[in-house]
Amino acid sequence: MNQSRRKLIAAMGAMTAGQAFIDDSVKADSNPAGLVADRSSTIRIKSMKATPAGSKVYLKMETNHGITGWGEIDQLEPKVAAALATSLFELLEGENPTRIEYLWQKLFRAHRNIRGGPFMIHTIAGIDMALWDITGKLWNTPIYRILGGPCRDKILVYPSIRATKPGAGPSEFSGTPAELQRFVDYIKAERKKVGPKGIVIFDAHCALPPPFLIQLANTLDPADVNFIEEIAVPGNIEVFKRIKEAVKIPLASGERDRTIYEFLPYLQEKCLDVIQPDCAHCGGITQMVKIATLAELYFTPLAPHAVTTELGISASFHATAVVPFFIIHEYYPSLTPVGLIRKSWSVDKDGYASLPQGPGLGVEIDEQKLEELAKRPIKPEWPTRGRLKDGSIADY
């Protein structure tokens, strides 16, 4: 009797286990955890299209699992940037897009004689955005969640009702009293707009040579300006040190600097009080987060530069969300062509942007609109910039 009972129980156990195995097999196709585990190991990059439109290049990266990622290349000659991105695709084809750091290094170190520089790094930045977009969509989460979660609930942006940025154009090497007073009046008027609780950033735009900048900074009331941006053309750290020694107003720079290697000297030499990496210029989300971590060691906050469309802005917001030391973020809605991008965030009346929602970057691109924009002639901007009164070429 006992032996028969044991056999019956054993048989029933085997049947139950067998049914459970069948049920698990049936449910595997609809089990999100199982799907992610499988797809993250088998996903591969199969194509990438670079579309120049206006002054930007839009990258569409596709995978064998139907997940698409988007990125933006900014502030380059667009036709050249698109050709470079297309050429670099041979290093990406067939790779797993979730190996973002590996692929960043593969692109960066691929050619010893074109490593670094704006064309390579700005192009890698656009690719990096697309890789992160794919990875977030694969795991069905915003990118900042993958990066460790947000440090803040919202992101202060400028220009807004509480923040403004007056700027300078090409100027002579030293200022006359009239020229200096013109800038002082201009900055004071901007301070009046936002009030004593607002933020005023003066953008020297690398257009005020060091003698002029030092004259102006020492003419201003330090309370009128939160910090001075783009104080000198990058390339000689001694110039930044000289300005820092002569000026008491906080100084910022970084929009024309790329990767951790170019930001480190500013921090080591204590030249800057604020750094301004641009996600589309410094190497993408991957590098922007590294730069922020490096700056954190020196207690130097970020005020990210950004003149991209809302595609690139969204990428920058994901990086900014996870940065502990942060002041304010640049954002111009007018730079995004109407109808091109649907974003998952908004800016409130006080100048705060909500964090991007949804998987990946949290944006959608209207590809039909993009094709229309791509057919329009591209007008280069450089012939109209950088001239002094005597006709000579100036920095800008």
pLDDT digits (tens, 9 = 90+) for 97-120: 999 999 999 999 988 888 999 999
- Mean pLDDT of the 35-47 span: 82
Q: Of 141, 158, 187, at which residue does a domain stop?
A: 141
Number of domains in the chain: 2
40 versus 163: the higher-pLDDT residue is 163
Q: Say if residue 209 is preceded by a cis peptide, omega within 30 of 0.
A: no
Report yes or no on 324 lying in a domain: yes
Residue 32 makes CB contacts below 8 A (sequence gap 6+) with 140
Report yes or no on 391 lying in a domain: no
123 and 66 both lie in a single domain: yes
Report yes or no on 18 lying in a domain: no
- Mean pLDDT of the 78-101 span: 97
Q: Of 106, 141, 176, at which residue does a domain stop?
A: 141
pLDDT in tens, 204-228: 999 999 999 999 999 999 999 999 9
266 and 344 both lie in a single domain: yes
Report yes or no on 389 lying in a domain: no
Q: Residue 164 maps to which CATH number? A: 3.20.20.120
337 and 253 both lie in a single domain: yes
Statement: residue 2 has pLDDT above 70 = no
Q: Which SS3 state, helix, strand or coil, does residue 155 take?
A: strand
251 and 312 both lie in a single domain: yes
91 versus 14: the higher-pLDDT residue is 91
pLDDT of residue 17: 44
Statement: residue 66 has pLDDT above 50 = yes
Q: In which band, very low, low, confident or very high, does the pLDDT at 286 lie, cut at 50, 70 and 90?
A: very high
Which phi and psi angles does 329 have, rounded to 5°?
-125, 140
pLDDT in tens, 5-26: 555 444 544 444 444 433 444 4
Q: Residue 82 maps to which CATH number? A: 3.30.390.10
- Across the chain, mean pLDDT equals 91
254 and 320 both lie in a single domain: yes
189 and 315 both lie in a single domain: yes
Q: With beta carbons less than 8 A apart as the criterion, state whether 361 and 136 touch.
A: yes
How many percent of the chain have pLDDT more than 70? 89
217 and 352 both lie in a single domain: yes
Q: With beta carbons less than 8 A apart as the criterion, state whether 380 and 75 touch.
A: no
pLDDT of residue 388: 83
Report yes or no on 240 lying in a domain: yes
The Cα 271–Cα 247 span in angstroms is 11
Q: Of 86, 108, 141, at which residue does a domain stop?
A: 141
Q: In which band, very low, low, confident or very high, does the pLDDT at 252 lie, cut at 50, 70 and 90?
A: very high
Statement: residue 124 has pLDDT above 80 = yes
| Chain centroid, CA 323 distance in Å | 12
Statement: residue 160 has pLDDT above 80 = yes
The CA–CA distances, whole Å, from 82 to 52, 57, 58, 87, 258 equal: 6, 6, 8, 9, 19
178 and 75 both lie in a single domain: no
pTM over 0.85: yes
294 and 360 both lie in a single domain: yes
Report yes or no on 5 lying in a domain: no
Q: Count Cβ neighbours within 10 Å for each residue of 61-94 and write b for 16 or more, e otherwise.
A: bbbebebbbbbbbbbbebeebbebbeebbeebee
pLDDT of residue 114: 87
How many percent of the chain have pLDDT more than 90? 80
134 and 261 both lie in a single domain: no
The CA–CA distances, whole Å, from 118 to 1, 122, 329, 340, 349 equal: 84, 6, 21, 26, 35
Tell me the residue range of the domain where 195 lies: 146-384
357 and 228 both lie in a single domain: yes
Report yes or no on 28 lying in a domain: no
246 and 299 both lie in a single domain: yes
Q: With beta carbons less than 8 A apart as the criterion, state whether 210 and 237 touch.
A: no
Report yes or no on 329 lying in a domain: yes
| Chain centroid, CA 309 distance in Å | 11
